[in-house]
Amino acid sequence: TSTAKSELLKRLFDADGEPVSGQNLADEFGVSRTAIWKYVKELEQEGYEIGTVRKKGYYLISTPDRVNEANIKKYLTTEAFGRTIRYFESCDSTQFIAHELAQEGAQDGTVVVAEEQLTGKGRMARPWDSKAYKGIWMSVITRPHLTPQQAPQMTLVAAVAITRAIEEVTGLTAQIKWPNDLLINQKKITGILTELQADPDLIKSIILGIGINVNQSIEEFPDELTSIATSLKIELGQSVNRAKLIATTLKYLEEYTKLYEAHGFSPIKLLWESYSNTIGRRIRATMVNQTVEGLAIGITEEGMLELKLDDGTIYGVYSGDIEF
């Protein structure tokens, strides 16, 4: 099955370009040689270049830059997050698929990832540009032991996790702009969309939609985004391994979700504040039916942004957009 296929791929990697015997693998996995041959053909379909040496076996020539299950699992160190991966070359939105899977009972940490989204979405049905092979477009189904009141803070948990992952993989430090943007040099590198399936007093699942611009060049963004968006490649001057960044993001996401479940929001709040560009600045917050201006003084245990208005009153912003 698919585990034999990913094991085959792993062997090809480990062999470092040397041939691996199809017969030996067939014996070891308890499958036919034809089955091995079929997996090789499937891998070729997925963009791997695989060579054959008569009587010696298969060898790996090159790997596609793909965020498929096998590539992510090479780097995965988690217990639950990313242990089930649903991979799509192209889809409407990983978020839609994740909602369906969650409804059908998908387990905690199930990941939906796509090379391309045709109708990627942001908050309030805004479009999210998701160019093929250039970014990380994924949704993580989580089933944390939290109350519905604790759910919105998962956006901040995810923001901290992604910031740590970007730092570990690229050395770049992003800044978190409340509530759901990560910026590098003032431009948006990541957006997070947190959605909930819940009863009034019970969370069924929290679906974390994560979009990270990784390998776009500036011309690969649509015109309306060139002044507000950036990618890791633009900031770093070189391409970044997307599969590795996904695995690292899942590592921190799992770690910080557990931290939040076990110790509440305080440790996350500290991390969040250390990466935030929002606290201490004068901002304008636009909500559904009003706009307020004031000094951002902190976030609460509920993940709410606290503003000190000019008349001295403290105002809590639950959701909305902010400008400096």
Can you say which residues are annotated as belonging to the binding site for biotin?
Answer: 117, 188
**Of residues 18 and 224, the one with the C-beta less far from ligand BT5:** 224
Least Å distance between CB 317 and ligand BT5? 14
Among 19, 64, 122, 267, binds ligand BT5 (CB under 6 A): 122
Decide if residue 82 touches ligand BT5 (CB under 6 A). no
Quick one: which of 202, 234, 208 has its CA closest to 221? 234
Q: Which of 158, 182, 210, 234 binds ligand BT5 (CB under 6 A)?
A: 210
CA nearest neighbour of 188 among 252, 220, 232: 232
163 part of the interface to ligand BT5, by CB under 6 A: no
Where are any strands of DSSP class E within the chain? 49-53, 57-62, 85-91, 110-117, 135-142, 175-177, 181-184, 187-199, 202-213, 282-286, 291-299, 305-308, 314-317, 321-323
Q: In the stretch 91-110, what mask flags binding to ligand BT5 with x, by CB under 6 A?
A: --xxx---------------
Q: How far apart are the first and last CA of the chain?
A: 53
Spell out, one character per residue from 137 to 156, where the chain touches ligand BT5: x when CB under 6 A holds, - when not.
xxx-----------------
- CA dist 85 and 43 (Å) reads 17
Q: For ligand BT5, give the closer residue by CB, 126 or 263.
A: 126
H or E element at residue 180? none
Q: Which range of residues in 114-122, 160-168, 234-242, 304-312 is near ligand BT5 by CB under 6 A? A: 114-122
Interacting span for ligand BT5 (CB under 6 A) from 21-29, 151-159, 186-194, 266-274: 186-194
Q: Choose which of 10, 41, 126, 204 interacts with ligand BT5 (CB under 6 A).
A: 126
8-state DSSP, 144: -
DSSP-derived 3-state class of residue 108: coil
Residue closest to ligand BT5, measured at CB = 191
Any contact of residue 193 with ligand BT5 (CB under 6 A)?
A: yes
Say how far apart CA 210 and CA 130 lie, in whole Å: 11
* Total binding residues toward ligand BT5, as defined by CB under 6 A: 27
Between CA 156 and CA 267 the distance in angstroms is: 12
> Which among 2-10, 66-74, 121-129, 299-307 is the span making contact with ligand BT5, rule CB under 6 A?
121-129
d(CA 311, CA 313): 6
Query: Which residues lie near ligand BT5 (CB under 6 A)?
Result: 93-95, 117, 120-123, 126-130, 137-139, 180, 188, 191-193, 209-211, 213, 225, 229
